[in-house]
Each structure stands twice: as C-alpha cells, then as structure tokens.
Amino acid sequence: MVENRPWANFFAHLTLMIGVAVVVFPVYVALVASTQAPGDLLRGTLPMLPGAHGIENFTRMWQSGVSNAGAPPAGMMLWNSFVMAMAITVGKLSISLLSAFAIVYFRFRFRMFFFWLIFITLMLPVEVRIIPTFQVVADLNMLNSFAGLSIPLIASATATFLFRQFFMTIPEEMLEAARVDGAGPLKFFKDILMPLSVTNIAALFVIMFIYGWNQYLWPLLITTDPDYYTIVMGIQRMTSEENPQWHLIMAAVVMAALPPVLVILFMQRLFVKGLTETEK
C-alpha cells in the first residue's frame, strides 16, 4: 500500500462485497428455490429466504427424479457424470503423459509429423465438428455407452504440451544417471518421470475433471437412453418441459454444481496452477 486512505479502503471493501454478492446471487437464488414447496414458485415472485422443503426436494430429486420430464434420478445422473469425468480425466492424462514421453525422450522418424498431428487437435473444439464426429461414433456403435461419452473427448493437445514443457525442464543428469544404473525407458518413466510430475498431474487433474464434468453438447447428442444421462444435460431436459418444476430443477442444479465447486474450493492452489499453465 502506497498511502493510507481510510475512505479508499472502505470503498474497496464495498466494491468487493458488491462483486461477491453479484457472483453469489444466482446460486443463492437457486438454493432458495430448491427449498420451496411446489406451489410457492407459482405465486408471483420468488421468496428471498429459504423455505422448509429442502430435504424433501433433494431426496425426491436424488431418488426418483422427474420421470415424466425424461429425467432419471439425480443420484444416477451424478454417478454417470462422475464416471464420464473420471474416464475423460484419466484417459487424457495417461495418453498425454505417454506421448509427451515419446516426443521428448526418443528420436524417431516422423517425430515432427506426429507432433503437428497432435497440435492440430488444439484447434478443433468438438462443437465445431460436431456432426461428422457424431457420425463416426454412431458408425462405431458407441452411442449410449461410457466409451462413446468419454473416448472422443480424451485427445488433448494441451496436456501433451504441458507435459512436454515440463519434461524439457528435467535435468539431463537424471536420464544419464538412470542409464548408467541400467534403467530402461519404462523403468525411467515409472520410477523417475512419474514421481517428478505428480504436482503437474494433480493440477491438470483438477482442470480436466471440471472440463469433463461440465460436458454438455456431447452427452446430449449421443445418449438417448436415460441410463446414460449426465446431470448437466439432464437439467436441460427438465427445463424444456411445458411447466418446469423449478423447485426440483434447482435442487438438481445445486447437486450438479456442487462437486466441481468443491473441487475448486478445496484444491484452489492446484486449480490456479493448472489454469495458468494450461493456457500459457
């Protein structure tokens, strides 16, 4: 602080509190709405204080869902989201660790070609090439399966780049020492590279998990069987109904938002590290 200005400090805190309030407001409204009785949300305006039906709404959503709106129990959708997010995360991390290892620690023909092949994927978000990708997955009979939900999304140039950058900073002596001691490539990878990469892996894990959990368009297209609905897309099925049951929808919204928000809050340091490094 350069100078002491009590009024400036007061206004700074005021600005921040208003900012935090604006950021929190939508979620607060969702929480309040999820604790109301069914009729309370039809009576003109939304109450601003929590009601008494929270447990009831959450249990109903968790156990039975809104079946007439095509939304299975939230418990199951949350499980599907979790499986999909974990499959995408673990898949992305493992294939990119392996390919970064190959690119940094080996010399072989077409190395540059493969590097550019991977690099190109950075430029093609799934939304852009959605129809041909859907056709490929349909031809491979992967609709309505966890494989179809996760595998098309696991190729990631970002993670490969990050690991490549990181491997380049590992001292040459590590490899020399390992080779003098007679370690082969796989042993070096398992016993030296992996332990050194733990923090990077954890930071990317946080980012990728959130990415996987929040997938929307892809699950929406390739799942027609409610057994594979994920929570984020299931909510859309409920809101597109004629008379949306907002108290239950908002209970589902809270449940859908909670896991990734908790991940960020409890692993904030790793999250910030992952975010700033993947975007550089």
Site for other proteins in 202-261 (CB under 8 A): 210, 213-217, 220-221, 232-233, 235-236, 239, 246, 249-250, 253, 256-257, 260-261
Closest CB to other proteins among 59 and 125? 125
What whole-number distance in Å separates Cα of residue 256 and Cα of residue 61? 12
| Burial bucket for residue 168 (CB in 10 Å: 0-12, 13-18, 19+) | exposed
User: Which residue, 252, 256, 259, 254, is CA-closest to 66?
Assistant: 252
Task: Considering only the stretches 38-46, 58-66, 69-77, 82-90, report the one whose residues sit in contact with other proteins under the rule CB under 8 A.
Answer: 38-46
Task: Considering only the stretches 51-59, 64-72, 82-90, 175-183, report the one whose residues sit in contact with other proteins under the rule CB under 8 A.
Answer: 175-183
Provide, rounded to whole angstroms, the least separation between the CB of residue 152 and other proteins.
4
Site for other proteins in 150-169 (CB under 8 A): 151-152, 154-155, 160, 168
List 188, 205, 228, 229, residue binding other proteins (CB under 8 A):
188
Structure tokens at 214: 């929040």
User: Which residue, 51, 97, 65, is CA-closest to 204?
Assistant: 97
User: Which residue, 74, 82, 119, is CA-closest to 213?
Assistant: 82
Closest CB to other proteins among 161 and 200? 161
String marking each residue 79-108 x if it binds other proteins according to CB under 8 A: ---------------xxx-xx-xxxxxxxx
Are residues 184 and 69 in contact, defined by beta-carbon separation less than 8 angstroms? no
Provide, rounded to whole angstroms, the least separation between the CB of residue 52 and other proteins.
19
Provide, rounded to whole angstroms, the least separation between the CB of residue 42 and other proteins.
7
Closest CB to other proteins among 72 and 218? 218
Provide, rounded to whole angstroms, the least separation between the CB of residue 258 and other proteins.
9
Closest CB to other proteins among 63 and 119? 119
Element (H or E) spanning 153, and its range? none
Provide, rounded to whole angstroms, the least separation between the CB of residue 55 and other proteins.
21
Closest CB to other proteins among 123 and 198? 123
Element (H or E) spanning 50, and its range? none
How far is CA 8 from each of CA 13, 17, 22, 144, 162, rounded to the nearest angstrom? 9, 14, 21, 57, 41
Query: Chain-centre distance of CA 179, in angstroms?
Result: 39
String marking each residue 114-153 x if it binds other proteins according to CB under 8 A: xx-xx-xxxxxx-xxxxxxx-xxx--x----------xx-
String marking each residue 40-69 x if it binds other proteins according to CB under 8 A: -xx-xxx-x---------------------
Instruction: Kindly state the DSSP code that residue 151 receives in the 8-state scheme.
Output: G
Provide, rounded to whole angstroms, the least separation between the CB of residue 85 and other proteins.
11
What whole-number distance in Å separates Cα of residue 171 and Cα of residue 159? 21
List 59, 63, 141, 268, residue binding other proteins (CB under 8 A):
268
What whole-number distance in Å separates Cα of residue 264 and Cα of residue 187? 34
Provide the 3-class DSSP secondary structure of residue 176: helix
Structure tokens at 186: 């796989």
Number of residues that bind other proteins (CB under 8 A): 107
